[in-house]
Amino acid sequence: MKRLLAAALLAAPLFLSTANAQEVPPQMTPDQSNVVYGMVSGTALLMDVYHPELARGVGIVVIPGSGWYRPPIYSAPPLKDLAPRDYIRGVVHDLTEAGFTVFVINHRSHPGFRFPDPVDDARRSVRFVRANAEAFGIDPDRIGILGHSSGANLAAMTGVMDDTPGNGLDPIDQTSAAVQAVVTLAAPFDLTLDPENVSAYGAQTITSYVGEVWYGEDNWYEQRTPPHVAASPVTYVDAEDPPFLIVYSPDDTVVPPNQAARMDEVMSEAGARHEMIETAPSGHEPVFPTDAVIAFFSEELGG
């Protein structure tokens, strides 16, 4: 494992993907909007596709952070909508500028849905992209995934879980959900850590996500259940996992840096390939290390 240090600007720690102190990226319009990558009991799973001017033939699935939550109201913007999300918009901008074809996804969220639904959706999105690789102009064997915060948890889960077929009868569910490289930004890797290492808001969010009842901060440690373990990427790590690039900020108070340290420990013990980047203090939105991420995806995915 290599540990890298990226220069960064100061940013306020926020749970959702909102603007930080970096330069605000330009507005972006998807080349393909509201592409249906799956249907669940009449609910459409949607993605937006951003095509680069000079394509490498490499696809990157991007999952914005949301706390695995979307408010159940008509006026709530979709998770994949980059307009109010300067942070993840900058990520998508930099990736497309570098020649990657980017797929930004919605996924099912609580309170309406719980674990493992969002994980299933993340894996379904990879299956869909691979099954339609020719139409998207990418190589089906060169697909990476990137996420921020809760989206990084889902990206990591996609990377470490065994490549088993999906549950549906749709032929896409029989397509591989394997990714060849994973980048995580401020990821919660272990949802069972003790209360000193999880913020109260984070603990409450995690409890709701895994379908348990929140009984208050004082009882958090005792509330952890098998679903907390099952929803933690550290549970599934082995030496066969794709390479990871783990990015975190040392002053993140929402997903504390010990989460990155925990994944580092588990991956090192398993002999899994990974690198770590500690940015300068930038809260819950670690300054995106563009050059390092592009170099990582280029090395692992080619193009």
Other Cβ atoms closer than 10 A to 111: 11
Give the integer Cα–Cα distance in Å for 258 and 180. Answer: 25
User: Which residue has tokens 């209360």?
Assistant: 195
Which of 264, 293, 297, 292 is CA-nearest to residue 180?
A: 297
- C-alpha dihedral sign at 134, 138, 142, 147: negative
Residue 222: the pLDDT is: 62
- φ and ψ at residue 32, rounded to 5 degrees: -135, 120
Quote the distance between the C-alpha of residue 154 and its chain's center. 5
**CATH 3.30.60.50 at 2-301, yes or no:** no
Please state the domain extents for the chain. Answer: 2-301
Other Cβ atoms closer than 10 A to 226: 9
Residue 192: the pLDDT is: 86
Residuewise pLDDT in 10s, the chain (303 residues) = 554 433 332 222 233 333 344 567 888 999 999 999 999 999 999 999 999 999 999 999 999 999 999 988 888 889 999 988 899 999 999 999 999 999 999 999 999 999 999 999 999 999 999 999 999 999 999 999 999 999 999 999 999 998 887 777 789 999 999 999 999 999 999 998 766 666 777 778 888 899 887 766 666 556 667 899 999 999 999 999 999 999 999 999 999 999 999 999 999 999 999 999 999 999 999 999 999 999 999 999 997
Q: Are 272 and 303 in contact (CB under 8 A)?
A: no
Q: Are 26 and 289 in contact (CB under 8 A)?
A: no
Q: Which residues, 6+ apart, have CB-to-CB distance to 82 below 8 Å?
A: 28, 48, 88, 89, 92, 104
Which of 290, 285, 294, 287 is CA-nearest to residue 16?
A: 285
Burial class of 177 by CB neighbour count within 10 A (0 to 12, 13 to 18, 19+) = buried
Residue type present at position 49: V
Residue 21: the pLDDT is: 43
